């Protein structure tokens, strides 16, 4: 055993414990389930107990009677109980949803929270009666209100908005599911899911991997979430584990005649895959899917996939697979590292330099692309943020810009003069081929700008001004350029926006598209507490995945979760159903780009630096903030159904034109055996409920699917199993990861 592997094993033993590593002991994680909040009712149990904020005693005691109705934009105090708050958890942990008589949903901002004196366990929430996410307002009359906390929705009760009264078809009095009518009655204590912890394990693996597998779920059951998470965080980066990256060498910019994708020179040594392997993203895409399907280092690559959607470099403009492979190795290597180190390595990455034009930006022809995007898209955003990621506002309630064009111009000049490492001594230099592997260097000092620059200015900033370097030449310019680069990156890294900006993005990628500010704030605090830690992102990822807003068997808040983007929809289904080659005799070759492309996403081929979808996307006609829904159109909605249909009832066949060498298929033997053993179909639905929906299948959904499954003759258990899988996998309950 090598010295590196010995050290690795020792570190694992220290972190995990020998019993956990051997699997001899089963670890019981703490109960991940937060209690379900209860909105306190008035003497009329269908109505919410509420008072005007102008009532000075509203937050100090429970009112004896509720107001009949309240004016639009008025501040109202509501009362909630059955919550156990973390230290510092306050108003930004709660959300209030309202539905008007037309069925339209709104979200009202919660601006204050305090405990109610003399009513133990009851909290007063001050709420503004205005839509938080758009300018529309509810119809006047009764609204149905609910309070959400940690992804859990309370019971619903009525509140008058501009008037009282009005019918809600299908709503039976808006009472709590437990029948609780006031704060004095017992709070609900039962879990929503019968299989204790099973739901949370599956949800955790959907967030931390490219999808659960039955074997991995059982392993996490033995180890516990935290032990498995530590094990993944301690895995040493490639190449110590995992499938090796494709290792195609650098090639000339102009493909040779026998490697142009058009002609075969007839030579016995001619490689029909030459153009595809060297001058397209095919090798990296196939490696990615095979690693997602079968790799052990799931968490590192899941985080690297997330980072690739922030630090975007697209194969639509990068020429060679070797170029983008070097870029992705940088993301993988830094996935559990320090954000400042990642900033440095991405800034000097040749693929990034080519994609955003930094490698050709000189003091004579400066290009602002990278300077703008490292600010706007990669680190700080357009407007100043509070520590919890909410917008800071000026005295007129307008967002405060983080920078102006002058700052962009100054960063642009700071980033001039870097080019590919093509000089003697560059480790991966290949004469005649652009070097997209080694970090960029200042090869020609004359190309770097020597003037003074003013960078971002913010409270506490100490690296705002870069002095000029008059008369500098040669090595002095190179030293000045590198020092200026470091100062510029320090200036960005120390900006107060970076922690909430990065934290929110990673939460969106791994857990939920619209996290509460409280969740963002908790993770951002971990980011800031580990600023000098070389493994800062380990602690950030740990905080994201173990936060109470992430954990629990089931989440019921209307806007919680994220649409499974096409790539992750494919990998989750593949891992859950024993993905193999088309003939089931080998591993899949991972050629799924055509399939996911039809749904709006091709791995490593983002349409622009803005990624496949924006992080603040709001579905048209709704107040639902769900980034991945930008890919969900009338056309792609149907394509998703067809994709699942093809994988469940068919397979991806070998296809020489598409370079599909082995194909892809899913396996349903376990489910068919269960369908054969139980002609009622109940056990089949039970298993799919646990594995695909973490035990949250609604009774109506179950009854509908079971009825369809039973139309298939019991003598055909394979078809019964496939039909059940198709119906569950195409349901909205599965398509949205919750």
* Span 500-539, pLDDT tens digits: 999 999 999 999 999 999 999 999 999 999 999 999 999 9
pLDDT less than 70: residues of the chain? 1-28, 65-66, 169-197, 237-242, 261-270
576 to 212, 486, 693: CA distances (angstroms): 6, 45, 12
pLDDT value at residue 237: 56
Residue 700 DSSP symbol? H
Q: Two tokens at 313?
A: 């470099």
The residue among 113, 78, 83 whose CA lies nearest residue 97 is 78
- Backbone phi, psi, residue 441, to 5°: -135, 170
* Complete domains list, the chain, with CATH: 38-161 (2.60.40), 338-496 (no CATH), 499-546 (no CATH), 669-737 (no CATH)
pLDDT value at residue 262: 59
From the number of C-beta atoms within 10 Å of its C-beta (0-12, 13-18, 19+), residue 507 rates as buried
Q: Two tokens at 90?
A: 């306050």
Task: Give pairs for 190-195: CB < 8 Å, separation 24+.
Answer: 191/33, 191/553, 192/36, 192/553, 192/554, 192/556, 192/695, 192/696, 193/553, 193/554, 193/694, 193/695, 193/696, 194/695, 195/553, 195/690, 195/695
DSSP H helices in 609-696: 634-649, 669-677, 682-693
Spatial distance between the Cα atoms of 731 and 737, rounded to a whole number of angstroms: 11
* Counts for the chain of helices (H) and strands (E), in that order: 25, 15
From the number of C-beta atoms within 10 Å of its C-beta (0-12, 13-18, 19+), residue 167 rates as exposed
Q: Two tokens at 436?
A: 């997209």
Work out whether the CA dihedral 512, 518, 522, 524 comes out positive or negative: positive
Torsion of CA 20, 25, 27, 28, to 10 degrees: 180
Spatial distance between the Cα atoms of 43 and 223, rounded to a whole number of angstroms: 49
Spatial distance between the Cα atoms of 244 and 290, rounded to a whole number of angstroms: 11
Work out whether the CA dihedral 333, 338, 341, 342 comes out positive or negative: positive
pLDDT value at residue 10: 35
Residue 146 bridge partners (DSSP): 97
Spatial distance between the Cα atoms of 521 and 388, rounded to a whole number of angstroms: 4
Work out whether the CA dihedral 520, 524, 525, 530 comes out positive or negative: positive
Residue 82 DSSP symbol? S
Residue 577 DSSP symbol? T
Spatial distance between the Cα atoms of 207 and 562, rounded to a whole number of angstroms: 10
Q: What H or E segment, with its residue span, contains residue 325?
A: helix 321-334
Say if residues 47 and 41 touch (Cβ distance below 8 Å).
Answer: yes
Residue 471: CB atoms within 10 Å = 7
pLDDT value at residue 635: 95
Give the DSSP per-residue string, 173-210: TT--TT---STTSPPP-S-S-SSTTHHHHHHHHHHHSS
**Mode of pairing for the β-strands spanning 75-81 and 152-153:** unpaired
673 to 136, 214, 217, 378, 668: CA distances (angstroms): 53, 16, 20, 49, 9
Work out whether the CA dihedral 685, 296, 379, 357 comes out positive or negative: negative
Spatial distance between the Cα atoms of 360 and 271, rounded to a whole number of angstroms: 33
Spatial distance between the Cα atoms of 318 and 280, rounded to a whole number of angstroms: 9
Spatial distance between the Cα atoms of 230 and 683, rounded to a whole number of angstroms: 34
């Amino acid at each position: 055993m090598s010295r590196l592997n010995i050290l690795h094993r020792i570190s694992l033993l220290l972190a995990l414990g020998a019993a956990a590593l051997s699997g001899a002991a089963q670890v019981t994680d703490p109960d991940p389930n937060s209690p379900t909040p209860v909105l306190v009712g008035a003497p009329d149990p269908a109505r919410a107990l509420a008072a005007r904020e102008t009532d000075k005693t509203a937050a100090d005691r429970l009112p004896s009677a509720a107001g009949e109705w309240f004016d639009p934009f008025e501040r109202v105090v509501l009362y909630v109980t059955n919550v156990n708050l973390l230290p510092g958890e306050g108003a930004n942990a709660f959300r209030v949803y309202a539905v008007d008589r037309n069925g339209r949903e709104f979200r009202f901002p919660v601006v204050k929270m305090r405990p109610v004196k003399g009513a133990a366990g009851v909290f007063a929430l001050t709420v503004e009666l205005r839509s938080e996410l758009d300018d529309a307002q509810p119809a006047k009359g009764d609204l149905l209100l609910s309070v959400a906390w940690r992804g859990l929705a309370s019971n619903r009760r009525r509140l008058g908005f501009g008037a009282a009264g009005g019918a809600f078809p299908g709503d039976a009095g808006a009472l709590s599911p437990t029948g609780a009518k006031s704060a004095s009655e017992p709070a609900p204590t039962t879990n929503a899911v019968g299989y204790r912890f099973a739901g949370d394990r599956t949800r955790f693996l959907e967030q931390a991997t490219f999808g659960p597998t039955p074997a991995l779920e059982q392993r996490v059951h033995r180890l516990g979430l935290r032990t498995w998470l530590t094990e993944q965080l301690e895995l040493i980066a490639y190449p110590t584990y995992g499938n090796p990256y494709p290792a195609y060498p650098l090639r000339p910019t102009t493909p040779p005649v026998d490697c142009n994708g058009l002609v075969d020179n007839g030579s016995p040594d001619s490689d029909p895959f030459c153009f595809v392997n060297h001058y397209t993203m095919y090798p990296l895409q196939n490696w990615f899917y095979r690693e997602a399907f079968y790799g052990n280092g799931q968490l590192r690559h899941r985080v690297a996939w997330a980072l690739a959607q922030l630090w975007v470099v697209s194969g639509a403009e990068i020429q060679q697979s070797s170029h983008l492979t070097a870029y992705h190795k940088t993301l993988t290597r830094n996935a559990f590292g320090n954000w400042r180190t990642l900033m440095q390595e991405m800034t000097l990455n040749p693929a990034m330099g080519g994609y955003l034009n930094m490698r050709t930006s000189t003091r004579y022809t400066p290009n602002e692309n990278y300077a703008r995007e490292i600010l706007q898209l990669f680190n700080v955003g357009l407007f100043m943020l509070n520590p919890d990621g909410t917008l800071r506002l000026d005295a007129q309630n307008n967002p405060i810009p983080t920078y102006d064009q002058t700052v962009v111009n100054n960063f642009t000049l700071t980033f001039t003069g870097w080019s590919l490492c093509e000089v003697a001594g560059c480790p991966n230099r290949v004469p005649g081929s652009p070097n997209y592997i080694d970090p960029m260097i200042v090869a020609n000092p004359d190309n770097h700008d020597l003037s003074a620059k003013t960078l971002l200015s913010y409270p506490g900033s100490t690296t705002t001004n870069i002095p000029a370097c008059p008369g500098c030449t040669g090595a002095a310019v190179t030293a000045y350029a590198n020092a200026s680069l470091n100062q510029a990156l320090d200036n960005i890294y120390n900006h107060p926006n970076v922690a909430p900006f990065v934290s929110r993005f990673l939460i969106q990628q791994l857990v939920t598209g619209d996290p509460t500010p409280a969740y963002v704030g908790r993770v951002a605090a971990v980011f800031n507490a580990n600023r000098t830690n070389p493994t800062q992102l380990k602690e950030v990822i740990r905080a994201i995945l173990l936060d109470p807003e992430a954990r629990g068997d089931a989440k019921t808040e209307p806007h919680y979760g994220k649409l499974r983007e096409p790539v992750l929809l494919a990998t989750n289904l593949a891992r859950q159903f024993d993905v193999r080659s088309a003939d089931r005799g080998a591993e899949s070759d991972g050629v799924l780009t055509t399939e996911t492309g039809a749904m709006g996403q091709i791995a490593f081929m983002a349409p622009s630096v803005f990624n496949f979808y924006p992080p603040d996307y709001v579905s048209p006609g709704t107040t639902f903030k769900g980034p991945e829904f930008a890919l969900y159109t009338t056309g792609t909605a149907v394509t998703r159904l067809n994709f699942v249909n093809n994988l469940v009832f068919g397979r991806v066949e070998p296809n020489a034109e598409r370079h599909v060498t082995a194909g892809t298929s899913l396996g349903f033997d376990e489910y068919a055996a269960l369908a054969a053993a139980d002609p009622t179909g109940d056990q089949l639905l039970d298993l799919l409920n646990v594995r695909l929906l973490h035990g949250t299948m609604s009774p109506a959904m179950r009854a509908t699917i079971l009825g369809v499954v039973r139309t298939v003759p019991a003598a055909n258990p394979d078809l019964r199993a496939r039909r059940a899988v198709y119906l569950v996998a195409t349901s909205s309950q599965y398509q949205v990861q919750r």
